[in-house]
Amino acid sequence: MKAVRIHAYNQMPTLDDVPEPEITGPWDVVVKVGAAGLCRTDLHIIEGQWDPIQNPTLPYILGHENSGWVHAVGSAVTNVAVGDTVIMHPLVTCGLCPECRIGNDSHCQNASFPGLNAEGGMAEYMLTNARAVVKLDPSLQPRDIAALADAGLTAYHAARKAAPRLHPGTHVVVVGSGGLGHIGIQSLLALTPAEITVVDRSEQALELAKGLGAHHTVVSTGDTDAVVRQVHDITGGGAHVVLDFVAEQGMELLGPNLIRNQGDYYVIGYGGTVQLDTISIISREINIIGNLVGTYEDLDQLMVLTAQGRISLHTSVYDLADFATAIDDLDGGRLVGRGILVP
């Protein structure tokens, strides 16, 4: 089968011929990949940022946002059958460790992470397990929802965590209306009554945010102070919650200045360094909150909202063989929404 594999850091991956995965265990599931999302994390993987954390053995197949159709199952699998449309939770978890037992499976102590430390889904087929597959309404097409497996899941997880703070009369600022942020906006609209302001450098991304239902938009210019003043004017002194879907290229320096005293700054994107004086943190009683990918339960809820038409992806579709063009478009800021690779 054809697969996009990374052979060395800071080099473009290649399209290789590799053997198809096979069922070897009772809980195994082989999926015929219908679509694989392209994520900024894939750029960071290529740059080697994840090597110290995940320590993968090169070469391996990229792709951690995957959807398709069940191709084969192990002898113990009963939750899906051959032919079912599925989306894969990005982690392949054990179900037995303490975190899995309480439903916090995104912190499974024995997980593998296809696309980061194991063979991923930028290929014609991929191997996962029964715990990772979510059976979908057959009306959902993989190319329309694949990126919800991570981008959507991560954005929904953050919105769901923030929702208890966002009662009527509160303000939330979303930094970045790209691949994650545009899903975060929809998640906030589905889960909370808060007023939403979106900050982005791209006028096109802000138009997308308006079309999704954002109440206010602010262009992030080089004048950080002006952006802060504009957001504070809109929110009446700062947001109760900021969800930063960028958190690099200077946005991580802007984000904490957009919250009011006792506000929450959620870090969802990454790549930069948050710089805050400790006296500012304690005197303002602000919270800095990290967000990893969501749980299986989060993904299940997200797919219900998607089937109801309340969450949708803005995508650009590429053939799997055109992965290098897709990567260049993402790196060059030419993608609005999410890049999708289709075998």
Q: Which of 256, 273, 278, 274 is nearest to 265 (CA)?
A: 256
- Residue 184 has, within 13 A of its CA and on its CB side, a CA count of 35
Tell me the average confidence (pLDDT) per consecutive run of 10 residues in the chain, 343 residues long. 97 98 97 95 93 93 97 97 96 94 92 95 97 90 91 94 97 92 96 98 92 96 91 97 93 93 95 92 95 91 91 91 96 84 96
Q: Tell me the two tokens of residue 105.
A: 């499976």
CB atoms within 10 A of CB 337: 21
pLDDT of residue 16: 98
Residue 175: the pLDDT is 96
Residue spans in the chain of domains classed CATH 3.40.50.720: 154-290
What is the rounded distance in angstroms from the CA atom of residue 166 to the CA atom of residue 2?
46
Please tell me the predicted confidence (pLDDT) of residue 333.
83
Cα(138)–Cα(144) distance, integer angstroms: 12
In one letter, which amino acid is 148? L
Q: Would you say 251 and 217 are in contact if contact means Cβ atoms under 8 Å apart? A: no
Query: What does the radius of gyration of the chain's CA atoms come to, in whole angstroms?
Result: 20
Range 2-150+293-342 has CATH code 3.90.180.10: yes
Give the phi and the psi of residue 249 in degrees, each rounded to 5: 55, 35
Catalytic residue of the set 7, 24, 44, 315: 44
Please pick, among 7, 24, 41, 78, the residue that the annotation labels catalytic: 41
Cβ contact 93:85 at 8 Å: no
Task: Please report the pLDDT score of residue 230 as a whole number.
Answer: 96
Q: Tell whether omega for the bond before 59 is within 30 degrees of 0, i.e. cis.
A: yes
d(CA 120, CA 115): 4
41 is catalytic: yes
With CA atoms as reference, report the closest residue to 67 among 93, 91, 37, 92. Answer: 37
Q: What is the pLDDT of residue 51?
A: 93
Q: Counting every residue, how long is the chain?
A: 343
Q: Range(s) for CATH 3.90.180.10 in the chain?
A: 2-150+293-342
Cβ(18)–Cβ(5) under 8 Å?
A: yes
Q: Which fold, 154-290? A: Rossmann fold (3.40.50)
The predicted model scores a pTM of 0.87
